[in-house]
Chains A and B, each alone.
Chain A
Amino acid sequence: MSKIIHDFTTTVPFWQPRVTPIDLDDATEEQRDALQVTPSNQKVSEYVLVLARDAETLKERTPLFNAIMYNRGGMSRAERELSATGASIVNRCVYCAAVHASRYNQLAKDVTVMERIFADGAAADLDVRQSAILQFAMKLSQTPPEVTADDMQVLRDAGLESDEILDLILSASLFGWANRLMHTLGDPIERSE
């Protein structure tokens, strides 16, 4: 029995599904299309094989996810990862937080920001702009969302332009989606050696 991880980490765990993944050999054409299975891409994660049970939504979700996180312009990729991590902390998605905190570390070439966020959450001692992004993402992730006009002003005062704030809204919201799948449909477990 593998140990479930409850504490935030930048070491990406394994993900153990609570719902049975489909068997790729039995996948329908629609499922294979949504999974983007090609002769050169036969490796599909268990997470995606679980989501293939709703192939119609999976097919739309994958390009939308990539567009929000990787499209050109607007807020930087590292700051989108910061936003994603803020949402994942509120929703306690340890797996999502590990993936996106470690991507932030790679992009920003700095591990101290995530160390501080994992230790102190929204109160983490960060620069003004990072702190404004983190706090907005965390407030937007509450139900109902707790963002106000004052929070919008904090973003403006920290130097964010409208196109950057739009990307912050989209990336934090996207993790309101991703966390609700990853955290509820499976468990993060320790990687065995």
Chain B
Amino acid sequence: MTVFDNTTVRCAAPLDANHPLAAALEGRSDIFAMTEQAQDAALRPKNPGGLSHDERAALAIRMARLNGEDGLADHFASPLVDGDVTKIADPTFDGEPDPRLAALIRHTDLVTRDTKSVAAADISALKDAGISEDDIVRLSELTAFVNYQARVSRGLRLLAGLS
């Protein structure tokens, strides 16, 4: 796989070895390959714990949309089968009346949009909703990773001279 086939690069901009950015991207191909591996670990881990692959994909679509990265959102949507879980991908859906889902969505949105305001009470709220400490860390890594990937995507698009 070349760096131009990498998910994060491909979702940002259609580039190839003739593009003026090719040398810069190829110089960091190891980083893009590691980003792909981190994506697999955050989105489709062998041990998903209490956060299913479909829930992770739906939350990732939601976060990509909150960041205005529709190309990335479409990428996460491709393996997702229709069902209740797809509602999570809609940024207007708040998860009510399911208290677990509402807590997961509230935290995902807060950490994505307003990281600086997250306080101890927000972690307590997840625990109070019955979410295990392992799953709190899993959700945090998923949220943190997708917000990283969305920014790399945005930056690459601009660097490639696209809007």
A and B found bound together? yes
Binding site for B on A (CB under 8 A): 18-20, 50-51, 53-54, 56-61, 63-64, 67-68, 71, 73-74, 90-93, 140-141, 143-145, 147-149, 151-152, 161-163, 165-170, 172-174, 176-181, 183-185, 187
A149 touches B163 (CB 8 A): yes
The number of residue pairs between A and B whose CB atoms lie closer than 8 Å in the complex comes to 172
Contacts of A162 in B (CB 8 A): 20-21, 23-24, 159
Give the contacting residue for A166; candidates B28, B114, B116, B151; CB below 8 A: B28
A68 to B136, CA, bound (A): 26
B148 touches A176 (CB 8 A): yes
Within 8 A of A (CB), among B108-140: 111-116, 118, 120, 122-124, 133-134, 136-138, 140
Task: Specify the main secondary structure of chain A where it touches its partner.
Answer: helix
A176 to B152, CA, bound (A): 10
B23 touches A53 (CB 8 A): no
Give the contacting residue for B141; candidates A51, A161, A166; CB below 8 A: A51
Interface presence of B17 (CB below 8 A)? no
A145 touches B118 (CB 8 A): no
Interface residues on B, range: 35 or more
How many Å from the CB of B139 to the closest CB on chain A? 9
A56 touches B154 (CB 8 A): no
Could you list 16 examples of A-B contacts with CB < 8 Å?
A53-B133, A54-B137, A64-B34, A64-B37, A74-B28, A140-B154, A143-B112, A147-B154, A162-B20, A163-B23, A166-B21, A166-B24, A166-B28, A177-B147, A183-B115, A185-B137
Interface presence of B57 (CB below 8 A)? no
A169 touches B159 (CB 8 A): yes
A53 touches B155 (CB 8 A): no
Contacts of B116 in A (CB 8 A): 90-92, 183
A57 touches B123 (CB 8 A): no
A2 to B144, CA, bound (A): 27
How many Å from the CB of B150 to the closest CB on chain A? 8
Contact with A along B23-34 (1 / 0, CB 8 A): 111011011001
Q: Which of B38-46, B75-83, B92-100 contacts A (4 or more CB under 8 A)?
A: B38-46
B141 touches A181 (CB 8 A): yes
Give the contacting residue for B122; candidates A20, A61, A180, A184; CB below 8 A: A184
A140 touches B155 (CB 8 A): yes
Q: A57-B145, A183-B115 are in contact. Are A19 and B136 (CB under 8 A)?
A: yes
Contacts of B20 in A (CB 8 A): 162
Contacts of B156 in A (CB 8 A): 166, 169
A151 to B151, CA, bound (A): 15
How many Å from the CB of B134 to the closest CB on chain A? 5
Q: A60-B38, A64-B38 are in contact. Are A184 and B118 (CB under 8 A)?
A: yes
Contacts of A183 in B (CB 8 A): 115-116, 118
A86 to B120, CA, bound (A): 23
B137 touches A143 (CB 8 A): no
B36 to chain A: closest residue by CB: A60
How many Å from the CB of B9 to the closest CB on chain A? 11
